[in-house]
Amino acid sequence: MNSATLKQLRKVVDVIADKDPSEDYLQWMLGGPLSDLLDANRYDFNRDAHRKALGLKPLNPPLLNFISTIMLPARTTRFVPREKYVVNMEPGKHVKLAYVDPVFMEGADEEIEEPTEGIELRRYVLARPSVFTPVMEEIRKEGFATKTTRSELFSMLEKQPDGPKSNAGPLLTNGYANLFEMVLKGIPRLVGVRWGGCRGGWGVSAREVSGPRRWDVGDQFFSRNSRLPSAA
């Protein structure tokens, strides 16, 4: 062992001793964790996995935390977007819509959805601030399809028509964003849904998926629970 290596080893021991100089701690550290580290393959060492085994927080937290799956009911009639996404804040059992972005309605007259069987979605919460594209890429890396539809979003809105006054549902009503990827008039769009404003009400917006907007920790993302086809 050369002098440089010996100096580095002494430094490691000094750091351990400064952390806790008790004999029990030193014997445990030198006889257990440090021995394991010396045996580890340094070219394939995952520090976050090591910290998780020790009950410590990761140095590089995941971009997303998976929360749950959501089962949406089967739809037995055709879904006509312009009949459903109507701004209406009057009292009643309908979905209280305060704003519907014109971009969200582009192509809506041609994009009538046929009846479908029930479908399952996945729900994630953002763990680190991020623009939209890396989030969708992360979900696709897991093998899940990311694109949803207007009718699937509306099924969730129908479960929470009056926001926080409705029974609990999958959509956040605390001012944080609920985010989806949809193809509208043939163009992939980021669709955002929020409850808020002085009058309350749902707002639905649509923008480019590659936009610079950074989303906040706590914002929610949805994808399908179906697997992407395997690459040939």
Q: Rounded distance, CA 182 to CA 215, Å?
A: 17
What residues pair up with 6 in beta bridges, in sequence order?
none
Q: Looking at the predicted structure, is the pLDDT value of residue 232 above 60?
A: no
Q: Looking at the predicted structure, is the pLDDT value of residue 210 above 50?
A: yes
Strands 220-224 and 202-208: unpaired
Contacts of 7 (CB under 8 A, 6+ apart): none
Q: What is the pLDDT of residues 152-177, one digit of tens each?
A: 999 999 999 999 999 989 999 999 99
Q: What is the pLDDT averaged over residues 121-149?
A: 94
Q: Looking at the predicted structure, is the pLDDT value of residue 231 above 50?
A: no
Q: What is the pLDDT of residues 28-39, one digit of tens each?
A: 665 666 666 666
Q: Looking at the predicted structure, is the pLDDT value of residue 27 above 80?
A: no
The CA-based dihedral angle spanning residues 71, 75, 81, 82, taken in that order and rounded to the nearest 10 degrees: -130
- Residue 15 tokens read as 């750091």
**Residue 75, pLDDT score:** 93
Give the Å distances, CA to CA, from 47 to 36, 40, 59, 136, 190: 13, 11, 8, 25, 34
**Residue 14, pLDDT score:** 72
Write down the pTM of the prediction: 0.75
Q: Rounded distance, CA 86 to CA 84, Å?
A: 6
Contacts of 70 (CB under 8 A, 6+ apart): 120, 121, 122, 123, 156, 170, 222
98 touches 197 (CB < 8 A): yes
pLDDT classification of 48: cutoffs 50, 70, 90: low
Q: How many CA atoms lie within 13 A of 150 on its CB side?
A: 29
Q: Per-domain residue ranges for the chain?
A: 3-53, 64-224
178 touches 187 (CB < 8 A): no
161 touches 106 (CB < 8 A): no
